[in-house]
Amino acid sequence: MQKDFPITLTVAGSDSGGGAGVQADLKTFSSLATFGTTAFTCLTAQNPDGVSDIFEISPDFVAAQLKAVVGYFPVKAAKTGMLYSANIIESVAEFFYENPDIQLVVDPVMVATSGAKLLKDDAIESLTKDLLPLAKLVTPNLDEASLLLGEKIHEYDQLVPMAEKLFQKYKIPVLLKGGHLPNATEATDVLFDGKSSYLYSKPFLKGKNTHGTGCTYSAAITAFLAHGKNLPEAIGSAKEYLHLTLEDEIQTGPISHLNHFPEPTN
């Protein structure tokens, strides 16, 4: 029996180490029964030790990839990851402005876990002014939210008010990810959609390699939106999936990685 897979799209950078970026997004899309399409923005030379080089793809070629995809596939939902430069962001924003029916999740990738800068300083303004107004959701971690707000977030009690502040500033639903809070026993994220706050918590899993969790989370939200779930439901399902990928980790040489095809729990 033929299966109908909704079409998803990732606009992001390549991770040659396979744990994050487009590679993580495609694994997530496939695991969650969607057909993933891509537009590469950058190629990175990286492994779990860090990013050693970045090759920026021209904005015209990014636009050409997007045009080729949408010219053939009925894309239901999309996510952005590493966009790197203002010129690329402007090109991507123009595409989504022209295709408003595609549900857009923006993962504001700014700095890698290793400390490598993944967004140029002059691109932050373009991200906030050109792309965020077109999004259905933005998914900053604590460091990214601090950059977007201009103030530090370091306590659990700040999560809800800071998510509300981000909404007031950018006028789009915000999923503030609190997994990096110090000494946390729960990994708690907050969605504020302009009317209500939703909390999503899972036990904090110590000693796990979290490389690629942000990409995987936003890709999972995108996949569940493509399947027709509303925003709070899509985030809840994505949170559950992300927890499983960490819990059911796989060994990859000297370290472990997320398992994007985890064994289902009973």
Just list the catalytic residues: 177, 210, 212-215
* Beta partners for residue 251, in sequence order: 256
Can you name the residues that pair with 111 across neighbouring β-strands?
A: 117
Cβ atoms within 10 A of the Cβ of 112, count? Answer: 17
Following DSSP, what letter does each residue of the chain receive, concatenated? ----PPEEEEEEEEETTSSSHHHHHHHHHHHTT-EEEEEEEEEEEEETTEEEEEEEPPHHHHHHHHHHHHTTS-EEEEEE---BSHHHHHHHHHHHHH-TTSEEEE----B-TTS-B-B-TTHHHHIIIIIGGG-SEE--BHHHHHHHHTS---SGGGHHHHHHHHHHHH-S-EEEE-TT-TT-SEEEEEEE-SS-EEEEEEE--TT---TTHHHHHHHHHHHHHHTT--HHHHHHHHHHHHHHHHHT-EEETTEEE--SSPPPP-
